[in-house]
Structure formats: C-alpha cells, structure tokens
Amino acid sequence: MVIVMAVDATAGNVEAVVDRVTAAGGEAFVSRGVSRTVIGLVGEVDRFEALNLGGMPGVRSVTRISAKYKLVSLEHHPERSTVHVRGVPIGPDSVTLIAGPCAVETPEQTLEAARMAQAAGATLLRGGAFKPRTSPYAFQGLGELGLRILADVRAETGLPVVTEVVAAHDVEMVARYADMLQIGTRNMQNFGLLQAVGEAGKPVLLKRGMSATIEEWLMAAEYIAQRGNLDIVLCERGIRTFETATRNTLDISAVPVVQRLSHLPVMIDPSHSGGRRDLVLPLSRAAVAVGADGVLVDVHPHPEEARCDGPQALVADDLRVLQRSLLDLASVLGRKGPAQWSPRRLAG
C-alpha cells in the first residue's frame, strides 16, 4: 500500500499513520518530498484495509498495490484453467460453442433449438427457465417446468445444460437439473447468490455486470471461489455506454485484459452484446480472434415467435456459417474449434 499525504499534512499526521500501521504489525517507510510525503506500507494488506487509514487527518489517498482478488488471480494460479462441464472442456485448448434458446418456451421449441445448436457444433445447451425481465408484465420464464424440459432435452441429445439461477433459495433446486449455473448480468453483485452457487458443487458461468469494471467482475468471481468453487467461466456480454446503435457495447478488450489478471476461462456472448442477429456472426469471429475460450449464442427455430429476445436469435442458416467461421478461425489460432456433427455424438 502507498499512502500519499496532503500538502498541508503535519509531522504529527505522518507519525499517527506510522504508529497505527506499526501497532497493527506492519512496517511503514516514509519518503518526504519537496511538497508532499509518501508512506509505503509493508505487511498484511487486509489488516491495513481495516485500519481506515484513508480517514486519518492529513491523508490524501491510499492506493492498494496487490490485487484484491486472490483465488481467481493469475498470480495465485499461473496457468490458464480449463473448466469441465459434464466432461465438456472450456479452456485454452478449444473454442467452445454454447447455444440454445434465450428462454425455454415449449418442449418442442427447446428440442428443435438444441438440435440446431448441436448440428452447428455446440457442445453445451443454454436455455433460460428463470428470466429476469425489466418489466413485470413481460414473460418471466417457465420456472421448474422449464428446467424439466431442459433435462429431457439433455437426455435426448446428450448436451449438458447451462441455465440461469436468480435467487439464492433456488440454487439447490436448479442445481438438481443443470450442469452449469449461470449468473446473469443483473446478479453479478448479488453476493448472497454468488455465495450460494459457490457451494452448489456445479460449474458457474458468471456474466459481467452491465456496468461492472473488470476488477469488480473478478471480485464477484472471488466470492464464488471463496466458497470453494473454482470451476468458474467468465462471460463478457457488453457494457452500458452512451452508444445506442447496439443494445450494449461489447468490451472485447476485456478478454485479453482478464487473461492477464486471472486464470479463469473467458467467453463472449455476442447475442446480448449487439442485440441484433446481423451482428452475431462478425462479433463471434472477433471473439475467437481476440482469444476468447468460446461463444454463447441465442438460437431459435422460429425467432419471429420467440417470447424473449427474438431479434437477436440465430436461425439454422446463420448457424452453419457460424460453425464454418469458428472452425476456420480456431484452426488458424491453433485451437480446436466447435464439434463437427456426427451421428455418434447424438447417440452418446
């Protein structure tokens, strides 16, 4: 930690800081400049945090140097991690495609979407049974019925299921059906929910909050990790900016930035970033090229009838182009691309 004293800080102010630090078992190094004094702290940073040094007279700023997150940091675990969801890897060796309908509506629609996804190389099925919606008058998802449909479709197709959970008290129930628990953008700082999924024994897909900094996102992951679960995959889905041409602004730089700070895999959701079908393909290509460990896309057999986010869902033709692109790009970048369809997979 580095403490910068105010211009008019007195010698007594400096001494008081040094005393509080040393009383807490730390060491304080004072550097007196022409106009200001700077104090460098060495010791247990967390203990210093508790001292509220920023509130002491004469202190202008307190800067923490080491990262606030530990378990998810690259310093803690210098190799990039691979998370396995019922055997399906998400990590540095492959480009994983997760696809499915935004919302589970009917068994037929879900199965059809799953088959479309699978034909395009998706190895994980996404689908929402609990939908956080801005309006109380909008379709809120089928709840447990939706989860049952997803489980049936998994039995039929072999695709493990990724689905969102929105409340701590639902985690146990959702975890009985799902293979991976998704935390949505609006819940990235629902700390009780993060702790609950941290204890649920299932991999977690943690979407970035729409106005969360990368540091806050990694802190949210740390909440999960701290409860003993390091099977966390991060997912960038666009942030909120002044630009209105897209639903959100995809912060593609977040992928390499995260990869320099954390060992966790990181994916991109081009469907929610852009909010427009015609942007999904170019943004998916960009995602793979920038080094993301996969993409998460909305598909729907009949988007014009979708009860949620129809305008951004891909249809069958789009998916074939997407698959081709991802395979080509992954190969250029030395990674395994999305699965290529084979009848045998379906049997498994």
Q: Say if residues 261 and 74 touch (Cβ distance below 8 Å).
A: yes
Closest CA to 119 of 95, 106, 100: 100
DSSP type of residue 75: T
In this chain, which of 49, 144, 156, 199 binds a copy of itself, going by CB under 8 A? 49
Q: Angle at Cα 347 formed by Cα 267 and Cα 127, nearest 5°?
A: 35
Based on the shown chain and the rule CB under 8 A, indicate whether residue 74 belongs to the binding site for a copy of itself: no
In this chain, which of 15, 93, 328, 340 binds a copy of itself, going by CB under 8 A? 328
Based on the shown chain and the rule CB under 8 A, indicate whether residue 12 belongs to the binding site for a copy of itself: no
Q: How far is CA 59 from CA 19, 36, 47, 180, in A?
A: 14, 11, 18, 46
Based on the shown chain and the rule CB under 8 A, indicate whether residue 311 belongs to the binding site for a copy of itself: yes
In the complex with a copy of itself, which residue's Cβ is closer, 159 or 306?
Answer: 306
Based on the shown chain and the rule CB under 8 A, indicate whether residue 79 belongs to the binding site for a copy of itself: no
In this chain, which of 23, 79, 155, 243 binds a copy of itself, going by CB under 8 A? 243
In the complex with a copy of itself, which residue's Cβ is closer, 186 or 336?
Answer: 186
Distance CA 334, CA 337 (A): 9
Based on the shown chain and the rule CB under 8 A, indicate whether residue 78 belongs to the binding site for a copy of itself: no
Least distance (Å) from a copy of itself to the CB of residue 80?
14
The SS3 call for residue 320 is helix
In the complex with a copy of itself, which residue's Cβ is closer, 107 or 310?
Answer: 310
In this chain, which of 19, 22, 25, 52 binds a copy of itself, going by CB under 8 A? 52
DSSP-derived pairing of the beta strands 2-5 and 59-63: antiparallel
Residues 244-273 that bind a copy of itself (CB under 8 A): 244-246, 249-257, 260, 273
Based on the shown chain and the rule CB under 8 A, indicate whether residue 47 belongs to the binding site for a copy of itself: no
Residues 273-302 that bind a copy of itself (CB under 8 A): 273-274, 278-279, 282-283, 285-291
Residue 69's region, left for phi above 0, alpha for psi from -120 to 50, else beta, is beta
Based on the shown chain and the rule CB under 8 A, indicate whether residue 84 belongs to the binding site for a copy of itself: no
In the complex with a copy of itself, which residue's Cβ is closer, 46 or 93?
Answer: 46
Based on the shown chain and the rule CB under 8 A, indicate whether residue 315 belongs to the binding site for a copy of itself: no
Least distance (Å) from a copy of itself to the CB of residue 93?
17
Residues 181-240 that bind a copy of itself (CB under 8 A): 186-187, 189-193, 195, 210-211, 213-216, 219, 222-223, 226, 239-240
Least distance (Å) from a copy of itself to the CB of residue 6?
10
Residues 105-144 that bind a copy of itself (CB under 8 A): 132-138, 140
| Secondary element (H or E) of residue 21 | helix 11-23
- The DSSP annotation for 258-277 comes to HHHHB-S-EEE-HHHHH-SH
Closest CA to 285 of 252, 249, 313: 252
**Residue in this structure with the two tokens 């988007």, named with its chain if needed:** 303
In the complex with a copy of itself, which residue's Cβ is closer, 82 or 195?
Answer: 195
Distance, C-alpha 93 to centroid of its chain: 19
In the complex with a copy of itself, which residue's Cβ is closer, 4 or 346?
Answer: 4
Calculated CA dihedral for residues 308, 310, 312, 316, nearest 10 degrees: 130
Based on the shown chain and the rule CB under 8 A, indicate whether residue 176 belongs to the binding site for a copy of itself: no
Angle between helices 277-290 and 316-332 (to 10 degrees): 20
